[in-house]
Amino acid sequence: MFSTAFRRTCAYGFALLLVLAFTAAPAMSEREGTEAVSQGRPDAGAGAATKVRTKSEPGGRQSSREELQAVEALQGWKPGESAVLDAVEVVATGYYAGKESTGKTPGHPAYGITKSGVKVRRANFSTIAADPSVFPIGTILDIPGYGYGVVADTGSAIKGRKIDLYFETKDKVYSEWGKRSVTVRVLLRGSGKVTEAMMDLLNSSERVSTDAKPSRM
Protein backbone atom coordinates (compact mmCIF):
# COMPACT_ATOMS: atom_id res chain seq x y z
CA MET A 1 0.00 0.00 0.00
CA PHE A 2 2.83 2.36 0.86
CA SER A 3 4.45 1.74 -2.51
CA THR A 4 1.18 2.39 -4.36
CA ALA A 5 0.64 5.70 -2.55
CA PHE A 6 4.25 6.68 -3.20
CA ARG A 7 3.90 5.93 -6.92
CA ARG A 8 0.71 8.00 -7.12
CA THR A 9 2.42 10.92 -5.36
CA CYS A 10 5.36 10.80 -7.78
CA ALA A 11 3.05 10.61 -10.79
CA TYR A 12 1.06 13.60 -9.52
CA GLY A 13 4.23 15.61 -8.95
CA PHE A 14 5.54 14.82 -12.42
CA ALA A 15 2.26 15.84 -14.02
CA LEU A 16 2.28 19.11 -12.07
CA LEU A 17 5.80 19.89 -13.30
CA LEU A 18 4.70 19.32 -16.92
CA VAL A 19 1.75 21.68 -16.51
CA LEU A 20 3.97 24.40 -15.01
CA ALA A 21 6.52 24.02 -17.81
CA PHE A 22 3.95 24.41 -20.60
CA THR A 23 2.20 27.39 -19.00
CA ALA A 24 5.49 29.23 -18.30
CA ALA A 25 6.85 28.93 -21.85
CA PRO A 26 4.29 31.20 -23.63
CA ALA A 27 4.68 33.90 -20.97
CA MET A 28 8.46 34.07 -21.59
CA SER A 29 7.92 34.25 -25.37
CA GLU A 30 5.48 37.13 -25.04
CA ARG A 31 7.89 39.07 -22.80
CA GLU A 32 10.78 38.59 -25.19
CA GLY A 33 8.61 39.60 -28.14
CA THR A 34 7.53 42.82 -26.44
CA GLU A 35 11.13 43.76 -25.66
CA ALA A 36 12.15 43.15 -29.27
CA VAL A 37 9.46 45.49 -30.58
CA SER A 38 10.39 48.19 -28.07
CA GLN A 39 14.06 48.03 -28.98
CA GLY A 40 13.14 48.40 -32.66
CA ARG A 41 11.31 51.71 -32.07
CA PRO A 42 13.63 54.60 -31.14
CA ASP A 43 10.67 56.65 -29.95
CA ALA A 44 6.92 56.40 -29.56
CA GLY A 45 6.06 59.97 -30.47
CA ALA A 46 4.16 61.38 -33.41
CA GLY A 47 7.25 61.20 -35.62
CA ALA A 48 7.94 57.52 -34.98
CA ALA A 49 6.28 56.46 -38.23
CA THR A 50 8.68 58.61 -40.27
CA LYS A 51 11.81 56.96 -38.90
CA VAL A 52 13.91 55.00 -41.36
CA ARG A 53 15.27 51.95 -39.60
CA THR A 54 17.76 50.99 -42.30
CA LYS A 55 19.88 54.11 -41.91
CA SER A 56 21.63 55.44 -38.86
CA GLU A 57 24.18 58.07 -37.96
CA PRO A 58 27.32 57.57 -35.90
CA GLY A 59 26.37 56.70 -32.34
CA GLY A 60 23.31 54.73 -33.39
CA ARG A 61 20.85 57.62 -33.74
CA GLN A 62 18.38 56.86 -36.51
CA SER A 63 17.84 59.46 -39.21
CA SER A 64 14.47 60.79 -40.30
CA ARG A 65 13.42 60.79 -43.94
CA GLU A 66 13.91 64.57 -44.05
CA GLU A 67 17.50 64.20 -42.88
CA LEU A 68 18.20 61.48 -45.41
CA GLN A 69 16.68 63.59 -48.18
CA ALA A 70 18.93 66.49 -47.15
CA VAL A 71 21.97 64.21 -47.43
CA GLU A 72 20.80 62.92 -50.82
CA ALA A 73 20.44 66.51 -52.04
CA LEU A 74 24.17 67.00 -51.40
CA GLN A 75 25.22 63.87 -53.28
CA GLY A 76 25.80 65.65 -56.58
CA TRP A 77 26.61 69.08 -55.17
CA LYS A 78 30.14 70.51 -55.37
CA PRO A 79 31.11 74.05 -54.40
CA GLY A 80 33.23 74.63 -57.49
CA GLU A 81 30.33 73.75 -59.77
CA SER A 82 27.54 75.63 -57.99
CA ALA A 83 26.29 79.09 -58.89
CA VAL A 84 26.57 81.86 -56.32
CA LEU A 85 23.04 82.51 -55.08
CA ASP A 86 23.78 85.77 -53.32
CA ALA A 87 26.54 87.99 -51.93
CA VAL A 88 25.89 89.48 -48.51
CA GLU A 89 28.02 91.85 -46.46
CA VAL A 90 28.19 90.71 -42.84
CA VAL A 91 30.04 91.36 -39.62
CA ALA A 92 31.91 88.17 -38.72
CA THR A 93 33.23 87.36 -35.26
CA GLY A 94 34.88 84.21 -33.96
CA TYR A 95 34.08 81.81 -31.13
CA TYR A 96 35.24 78.53 -29.66
CA ALA A 97 33.50 75.86 -27.58
CA GLY A 98 34.83 77.07 -24.23
CA LYS A 99 33.25 78.98 -21.37
CA GLU A 100 34.16 82.48 -22.58
CA SER A 101 32.20 81.94 -25.80
CA THR A 102 29.44 79.52 -24.84
CA GLY A 103 29.30 79.49 -21.04
CA LYS A 104 30.00 75.74 -21.08
CA THR A 105 32.98 73.73 -19.85
CA PRO A 106 34.23 70.37 -21.21
CA GLY A 107 32.25 68.47 -18.56
CA HIS A 108 28.93 69.94 -19.69
CA PRO A 109 26.75 67.47 -21.69
CA ALA A 110 26.12 70.11 -24.37
CA TYR A 111 29.76 71.18 -24.67
CA GLY A 112 30.72 71.51 -28.32
CA ILE A 113 27.19 70.77 -29.54
CA THR A 114 25.52 73.23 -31.90
CA LYS A 115 21.86 74.23 -32.09
CA SER A 116 21.38 71.77 -34.95
CA GLY A 117 22.76 68.93 -32.85
CA VAL A 118 26.04 68.41 -34.71
CA LYS A 119 29.42 68.81 -33.06
CA VAL A 120 31.48 71.89 -33.78
CA ARG A 121 34.26 71.33 -36.26
CA ARG A 122 36.95 73.32 -38.06
CA ALA A 123 37.56 71.64 -41.38
CA ASN A 124 37.22 72.30 -45.09
CA PHE A 125 33.56 72.86 -44.27
CA SER A 126 33.34 74.30 -40.76
CA THR A 127 30.37 74.88 -38.48
CA ILE A 128 29.34 78.50 -38.00
CA ALA A 129 26.53 80.39 -36.26
CA ALA A 130 24.11 82.78 -37.95
CA ASP A 131 20.65 84.27 -37.68
CA PRO A 132 18.40 81.61 -39.28
CA SER A 133 16.05 84.30 -40.59
CA VAL A 134 18.94 85.53 -42.75
CA PHE A 135 20.87 82.30 -43.30
CA PRO A 136 18.77 79.20 -42.51
CA ILE A 137 20.37 76.23 -40.78
CA GLY A 138 22.23 74.22 -43.41
CA THR A 139 23.17 77.23 -45.55
CA ILE A 140 26.68 77.01 -46.99
CA LEU A 141 28.71 80.20 -47.23
CA ASP A 142 32.05 80.94 -48.83
CA ILE A 143 33.70 83.28 -46.32
CA PRO A 144 36.81 85.24 -47.41
CA GLY A 145 39.74 84.51 -45.14
CA TYR A 146 37.98 81.59 -43.42
CA GLY A 147 36.74 79.12 -46.00
CA TYR A 148 33.45 77.29 -46.31
CA GLY A 149 31.05 77.66 -43.41
CA VAL A 150 27.92 75.61 -42.77
CA VAL A 151 25.30 77.32 -40.64
CA ALA A 152 24.73 74.85 -37.81
CA ASP A 153 24.37 77.12 -34.79
CA THR A 154 22.65 80.25 -33.53
CA GLY A 155 23.44 82.79 -30.82
CA SER A 156 21.60 85.37 -28.75
CA ALA A 157 23.92 88.09 -30.03
CA ILE A 158 23.97 86.81 -33.62
CA LYS A 159 21.11 88.75 -35.16
CA GLY A 160 20.67 90.13 -38.64
CA ARG A 161 23.74 90.23 -40.83
CA LYS A 162 26.13 88.84 -38.25
CA ILE A 163 27.86 85.48 -38.28
CA ASP A 164 30.06 83.73 -35.72
CA LEU A 165 32.86 81.49 -36.99
CA TYR A 166 34.06 78.46 -35.08
CA PHE A 167 37.73 78.06 -34.11
CA GLU A 168 39.29 75.27 -32.09
CA THR A 169 40.85 77.49 -29.41
CA LYS A 170 40.44 80.93 -27.90
CA ASP A 171 43.91 81.91 -29.09
CA LYS A 172 42.97 81.10 -32.69
CA VAL A 173 39.84 83.25 -32.42
CA TYR A 174 42.04 86.28 -31.78
CA SER A 175 45.14 85.41 -33.79
CA GLU A 176 43.35 84.18 -36.92
CA TRP A 177 40.22 86.28 -36.98
CA GLY A 178 39.04 88.78 -34.36
CA LYS A 179 36.20 90.79 -35.92
CA ARG A 180 35.80 91.66 -39.58
CA SER A 181 33.35 92.96 -42.13
CA VAL A 182 33.33 90.61 -45.12
CA THR A 183 31.15 89.85 -48.11
CA VAL A 184 30.13 86.21 -48.02
CA ARG A 185 28.90 84.24 -51.01
CA VAL A 186 25.83 82.07 -50.52
CA LEU A 187 26.48 78.77 -52.29
CA LEU A 188 23.58 76.70 -50.99
CA ARG A 189 20.44 77.74 -49.14
CA GLY A 190 19.77 75.57 -46.10
CA SER A 191 16.62 73.56 -45.46
CA GLY A 192 16.77 73.93 -41.68
CA LYS A 193 18.64 70.65 -41.16
CA VAL A 194 22.27 69.74 -40.54
CA THR A 195 23.47 66.29 -39.50
CA GLU A 196 26.83 64.64 -38.87
CA ALA A 197 26.28 62.62 -42.05
CA MET A 198 25.90 65.84 -44.04
CA MET A 199 29.06 67.33 -42.52
CA ASP A 200 30.99 64.13 -43.21
CA LEU A 201 29.78 64.11 -46.81
CA LEU A 202 30.77 67.74 -47.34
CA ASN A 203 34.22 67.10 -45.91
CA SER A 204 34.82 63.93 -47.91
CA SER A 205 37.89 64.04 -50.16
CA GLU A 206 36.00 64.34 -53.45
CA ARG A 207 34.32 67.54 -52.25
CA VAL A 208 37.59 69.37 -51.73
CA SER A 209 39.26 69.27 -55.12
CA THR A 210 41.97 71.69 -56.19
CA ASP A 211 39.57 73.58 -58.47
CA ALA A 212 37.00 74.15 -55.75
CA LYS A 213 38.90 75.99 -53.07
CA PRO A 214 37.10 78.62 -50.98
CA SER A 215 38.00 82.29 -50.91
CA ARG A 216 41.09 82.90 -48.76
CA MET A 217 41.41 86.65 -49.23
Query: For 112-127, how does the pLDDT look when each residue is reduced to its tens digit (9 = 90+)?
Result: 999 999 999 999 999 9
**Nearest alpha carbon to residue 187 among 202, 205, 165, 169:** 202
Same domain membership, residue 197 and residue 109? yes
Q: Give a yes or no: residue 168 inside a domain.
A: yes
Same domain membership, residue 83 and residue 163? yes
pTM as predicted: 0.66
d(CA 170, CA 178): 10
Q: Give a yes or no: residue 214 inside a domain.
A: no
Same domain membership, residue 183 and residue 99? yes
Confidence of residue 143 (pLDDT cuts 50, 70, 90): very high
Q: Give a yes or no: residue 150 inside a domain.
A: yes
- For residue 103, the domain's CATH number is 2.40.40.10
Q: Give a yes or no: residue 62 inside a domain.
A: no
**Torsion angle of alpha carbons 75, 128, 102, 59, nearest 10°?**
10
Name the average pLDDT for the chain.
Answer: 75
d(CA 140, CA 102): 22
How crowded is the C-beta side of 181, counted as CA atoms within 13 Å? 1
- Does 191 or 76 have the greater pLDDT score? 191
Query: For 70-90, how does the pLDDT look when each residue is reduced to its tens digit (9 = 90+)?
Result: 667 677 677 877 789 999 999
Confidence of residue 53 (pLDDT cuts 50, 70, 90): very low
Q: Which helix (H) or strand (E) holds 152?
A: strand 147-153
pLDDT at 182: 98
- Does 198 or 205 have the greater pLDDT score? 198
- Structural domain count, the chain: 2
d(CA 207, CA 184): 20
CA 78 to chain centre: 21
Same domain membership, residue 108 and residue 20? no
Same domain membership, residue 195 and residue 122? yes
Same domain membership, residue 139 and residue 87? yes
Contact predicate 124/148, CB 8 Å:
yes
Give yes or no for residue 139 having a pLDDT over 80: yes
* Domain span including residue 101: 79-207
